[in-house]
Amino acid sequence: MMMTTHNTLRLCIDPEATERFRAAVHSRDPVSGMTHNFYRYPARFSPQFARAAIETFTQHGDVVLDPFMGGATTLVEAGLLGRIGIGLDINELACFLARVKTTPLTGADIKAIRLWLRKAIPNLNMRRMAKRPYDWIAAGYQRNISTRQTWPIRKTLELALDRVSLLNSASQQNFVRAVLLRTGQWALDCRSDVPSAAGFRNKLEQFLDEMIEGVRAYRQAAALSDSDLPNNRNSTRTLILHRSAEGIDDEPAITQYGPPKLVLTSPPYPGVHVLYHRWQIFGRRETPAPFWITSTFDGNGLSHYTFGDRKNPNLRTYFDIAQLTFRSIARIAQRDTLIVQMVAFSDASWQLPKYLETMRAAGLEELKMSNASDSRDGRLWRIVPNRKWYADQRGSIGAAEEVVLFHRPST
């Protein structure tokens, strides 16, 4: 990679790599493979994009940081490509997912998990008494899932979760919780018809098989690239922290790795309403049940996860928090760290200039990729039709505009 200066700073990579990167940005392939499909984390970017960025801009053993890791797409691809992956998020659910998606289970783990399900299935029976999780209920984590249509799913989850402690390692227990989470999302989130308890049990078995295949494939592929890691750093190849990106330059657990080679990320989006922390029951009512299923805690309200209240005039809080977090990211980086972001906007005409100004104020300067501009402004844009996001001013938006931005610390 070479950087030269004309009027704007340019990121020069060879034309073939540029073409591969551009194709990955525009890829419409469904998210699939390895552990990527363990959960439909809202606003996740594609594994193809993450892979292309990591392959293009880093080498084996380099450190790749995702300070807003969400469903951990970056971390999974970093692990598969033999890079050190560091991910953080203020959403504990994201950290749970990252852990499960990057933990390669052993053959003995898989055997224990299969046996657990075989014994659990006959017990997931509506005539049995479920042990009610009263602490979680009192704290509101079962909100909106005890309706006439949804209670059999809630009860099946209660019966299954009560048996999780029969597994004897944390990775086995977390894996089973993840299978229940995925099945719960399938059964409850954004559906107009809720399946029966029998339908839930069938899907649980199907997802367990699929996810075991995924984690096996991950283990095999990650083990291959592991053997190439320098300095025998295999055991520390993935670091997951539940915390804000603000202040990471003072976090010893991260700074001990030295400056990252690549920061690859998607922060919360300006003006775009994404529910990272809830499922939508019948499209109207929201539930924090994913936290109960995974035994994690909710961080209080949408604004906690989205850089503040989206109704704030001119998204002031959004841009204030963006500046604080990216200032910490700039400080942890060094001059040749590349910061690659995929950002979506509800109205790019005013939000993009404001976003770029915020990056400058945070201590970052923009680079444009040579030969890869797909628009008049020299940036790589991607239009995503039928996005189910909600923009503040315009109500439901039909298509989202997403742009790939490149930055590096300004001196």
Ligand X SMILES: C[S@@+](CC[C@H](N)C(=O)[O-])C[C@H]1O[C@@H](n2cnc3c(N)ncnc32)[C@H](O)[C@@H]1O
- Give me the least distance between CB of 45 and ligand X, in Å please: 5
Q: Is residue 44 at the binding interface for ligand X, with CB under 6 A as the rule?
A: yes
Burial 301-322 (b: 16+ CB within 10 A, else e): ebbebbbbebeeeebebbbebb
* 71 interacts with ligand X by CB under 6 A: yes
**Of residues 243-282, those binding ligand X (CB under 6 A):** 244-246, 266-268, 276
Which residue in 77, 89, 189, 226 binds ligand X (CB under 6 A)? 89
DSSP 321-366: HHHHHHHHHHHHS-TT-EEEEEEEES-HHHHHHHHHHHHHHTTEEE
Stretch that binds ligand X, among 41-49, 128-136, 148-156, 229-237 (CB under 6 A): 41-49
Question: Which residues ranging from 90 to 149 are in contact with ligand X (CB under 6 A)?
Answer: 90-91, 94
Strands 380-385 and 285-287: unpaired
Per CB under 6 A, the list member of 70, 195, 308, 363 interacting with ligand X is 70
Give residue 104's region: left, alpha or beta (phi > 0; psi -120 to 50): beta
Query: Nearest residue to ligand X, using CB?
Result: 70
Q: Among residues 46 and 156, whose Cβ is nearest to ligand X?
A: 46
Closest approach of ligand X to the CB of residue 237, in Å? 19
Is 86 a binder of ligand X (CB under 6 A)?
Answer: no
What is the C-alpha separation between 264 and 329, in angstroms, rounded? 11
DSSP string, 184-195: HHHHHTTBSSPP
For residues 296 to 335, the per-residue mask of contacts with ligand X, x marking binding by CB under 6 A and - elsewhere, is ---------x-x-----------------x----------
Name the minimum Å distance from CB 263 to ligand X: 12
Under the binding rule (CB under 6 A), the answer on residue 291 touching ligand X is: no
Q: Closest separation between CB of residue 36 and ligand X, Å?
A: 9
Among the listed ranges 85-93, 126-134, 169-177, 310-318, the one in contact with ligand X (CB under 6 A) is 85-93
Interface with ligand X, residue 38, by CB under 6 A: no
Q: In this chain, which stretch among 6-14, 42-50, 189-197, 389-397 interacts with ligand X, using CB under 6 A?
A: 42-50
* Binder among 13, 43, 105, 178 for ligand X (CB under 6 A): 43
Shortest Å, Cβ 287 to ligand X:
17
Q: Tell me if 332 sits within 8 A of 254, measured CB to CB.
A: yes
The Cα–Cα gap between 97 and 137 comes to 23
Give CA separation, 142 vs 3, 92, 287, in Å.
53, 17, 7
List phi, psi (to 5°) of 73: -55, -45
How far apart are the C-alpha atoms of 8 and 365, rounded to whole Å? 10
Asked if residue 160 lies in contact with residue 178, where contact means CB atoms within 8 angstroms, the answer is: no
Compute the distance between CA of residue 136 and CA of residue 289 in angstroms, rounded to an integer: 9
Q: Indicate which single residue of 21, 38, 39, 45 sits in contact with ligand X (rule: CB under 6 A).
A: 45
Helices and strands in the chain, H and E counts: 14, 15
CA dist 286 and 276 (Å) reads 11
* Cα angle, residue 14 at apex, residues 8 and 16 outer, rounded to 5°: 125
Out of 21, 39, 57, 68, name the contact with ligand X by CB under 6 A: 68
Q: Is 288 in the site for ligand X (CB under 6 A)?
A: no
> Would you tell me which residues interact with ligand X (CB under 6 A)?
41, 43-45, 67-68, 70-71, 73, 88-91, 94, 244-246, 266-268, 276, 305, 307, 325
